[in-house]
Structure formats: C-alpha cells, structure tokens
C-alpha cells in the first residue's frame, strides 16, 4: 500500500531497475545492431533515472537523521 511520497519513489525505483534489467537483456539478445543499440541506449537512460531516484531517497533519508 502506498502511504506517502517516499513509497511512490521506492516503487518507481524498482520499476526503473526492472527496465534496466529488461532493456539490457533485450540488447544482449538482439540480433540486429540497430535494435541492440536502441536497447542499450534505453538501458542507459533508465540507469540515469535509477540514479536520480536513489539520490532522492538518500537525501530524504539523511534529512530524517
């Protein structure tokens, strides 16, 4: 159950991590170079999102201390 904004951020983080895993796997198994490159690009974009969300969680965690 989502009860606060941090729960939403954590849920989004898990979805972004899943996207990184999926796109990385799709890139690994792609037979066409263009498709492989597209999935590699998408995985890198999702990694940026993971970093943003992780930074936000850490910032919030340290504010609570």
Domain ranges of the chain: 5-64
In CATH, the number for domain 5-64 is: 1.20.5
27 within 8 A of 39, measured Cβ to Cβ: yes
Report pLDDT digits (tens) over 23-46.
Answer: 999 999 999 999 999 999 999 999
Label residue 55 by pLDDT band (50, 70, 90).
very high
At residue 8's C-alpha, the angle toward residues 6 and 13, to 5°, is 95
Label residue 51 by pLDDT band (50, 70, 90).
very high
Percent with pLDDT over 90 in the chain: 82
Per-position b or e across 18-36, b if 16+ CB within 10 A of its CB? ebbeebbebbeeeeeeeee
Label residue 64 by pLDDT band (50, 70, 90).
low
Candidates 16, 18, 37, 17; CA nearest to 27 is 37
């Amino acid at each position: 159950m989502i009860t606060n904004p941090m729960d939403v951020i954590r849920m989004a983080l898990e979805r972004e991590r899943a996207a990184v895993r999926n796109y990385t796997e799709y890139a690994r198994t792609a037979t066409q170079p263009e498709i492989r490159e597209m999935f590699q690009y998408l995985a890198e974009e999702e990694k940026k999102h993971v970093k943003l969300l992780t930074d936000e969680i850490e910032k919030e965690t340290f504010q609570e201390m």
